[in-house]
Chain A
Amino acid sequence: MTYNSLLAAGLIDPALHSLIADHPDSIQMQKLLCQALMLRLLHQLSAHSPFPANQSLIKKSLDLESWTDIFQNIQKIDKTLAQNMVESIKRIEFVLINQLTESAE
């Protein structure tokens, strides 16, 4: 899953994107965010159907670079799960921005 594909899908909060884009090690920050989001995604896939039933879906999700492809792949299995993942991504970003705002204050 790449940062750019999340950005293209409108899933990166503008405030967070601004912080990441301004960071001197912007690429590294993008990758850290993707890592956190992918871990959450894996948690949700595991909650939906325990291992090894979800093995194929996990493999596919890790293999795909585009968020849209991952989303469509999961949507084929369970539309609610796919939608929940979008919400989770937004929630993680929301918490991150809150933390950063609080520390700045």
Chain B
Amino acid sequence: MPASTNSAHHQLRDSLIATIKQEQHRLKTDYPQTWSYLKQFNPQLTQVDFAVLSPEVSAQQNLNQEFKPDQARVSIEVTGEEHAQILQKLATLAQAPAGQAELPDQLYFEQQLSDMMGLTVTAELENYRLPYTIAHAQALPHYPTHPNDQLSAHQLEEAGLSQSRSTFGWLTDKDKTYQHEAFGVAIPLHKLPDWSTRRSEYLAWFKYRKVVLINPARQKAAVGLITQVGPAHVQRFQVGLSPELIRATQAWHPDSKGKMIILLLDEAGGKSKLGPVPLCQLLTGETK
């Protein structure tokens, strides 16, 4: 190899290492908190150990110490202590007035909940958002799935049977009838922006769209799907839950007073079952 080429190779390597050191120094000086976080969760980015080694030694060392994108993946495991902290923050958030969470809170909880639950939950999906992510839940009665439906055909008969069918009509798919009725959620879609002009678009997108309901006060979560537009009294209730979901999430419990966090479920990575889901896989030992 010509000496000039060899020198150019060394120069490239040295320049890259110098750039890394410069960027590290900038980050460390300007944003020490980010730097500390990085040192804890991704120490590879904060090191250039091979920079002090000679090229000959570093060549071998780099095989073991090189920066690997795979290693840069932040561990998604959540310790018990972190889990308790997150739940505490969630419980505080759930007690806030009904509406949308602040953006930093929203991003934080999206990430934490996705990691904890092993599901991808998000406040915004395909540029659509729910009108409320923090909501007070109303217990709804059962909804008839076909014109001759009787209360006796449903579990939890004490919830009663509505006289009207769901917003999206009768359920014609026999395999899904029970699941769709049992885990139905009413969302006040009419509170979405431009409802009057985008009504059909919203209805088409939100029809049977899965949502994750979280009751942090009782550490309960469930997957439901949107079958209704409602509740009618949005000032008081911002989400309606089927009798089965009220039980699954323990929304009735005095600790929660019906306050829930609702997020959209992104099923791009695979389908999720309806019904109760563990809030933390780590504690239950379940896997995705």
Contacts and interface: CB of A to CB of B under 8 A. Distances in A.
Given A29-B13, A31-B68, A52 B19 contact: no
A100 B11 contact: yes
Nearest to B12: A19
B12 A31 contact: no
Interface in B2-52: 8-9, 11-13, 15-17, 19-20, 23-24, 26-27, 30-31, 33-34, 37-38, 41-42, 44-45, 48
A29 B16 CA distance: 8
The listed residue with most A CB atoms (<10 A of its CB), out of B13, B104, B110, is B104
Sort chain B's interface into a size bin.
35 or more
Contacts of B72: 1, 38, 62
A43 B27 contact: yes
Interface residues of A, number: 49
Interface stretch (B59-67, B191-199, B252-260): B59-67
Nearest to A20: B12
B20 A35 contact: yes
A45 to B, nearest CB: 8
B149 interface: no
A32 B69 contact: no
A68 interface: no
B104 A53 contact: yes
The listed residue with most B CB atoms (<10 A of its CB), out of A45, A56, A63, A99, is A56
A55 B111 CA distance: 9
A11 to B, nearest CB: 16
A39 B24 CA distance: 7
A103 B16 CA distance: 14
B37 A55 contact: yes
Interface in B67-116: 67-69, 72-74, 76, 103-104, 107-108, 110-112
B124 interface: yes
Interface of B: 8-9, 11-13, 15-17, 19-20, 23-24, 26-27, 30-31, 33-34, 37-38, 41-42, 44-45, 48, 59, 62, 66-69, 72-74, 76, 103-104, 107-108, 110-112, 124
- The 5 residue pairs across chains A and B that have the minimum distance between CB atoms: A39-B23, A53-B104, A46-B31, A56-B107, A51-B33
Interface of A: 1-2, 19-20, 22-25, 27-29, 31-36, 38-40, 42-43, 45-47, 49-60, 62-63, 65, 76-77, 92, 95-96, 99-100, 103-104
Given A47-B31, A60-B111, 6 more contacts: A23-B9, A29-B13, A35-B67, A43-B34, A56-B104, A96-B16
22 contacts: A1-B72, A19-B8, A31-B69, A32-B16, A32-B17, A35-B67, A38-B45, A39-B26, A43-B27, A46-B31, A50-B33, A52-B108, A54-B34, A58-B34, A58-B37, A59-B111, A62-B41, A62-B45, A62-B72, A92-B19, A103-B11, A104-B8
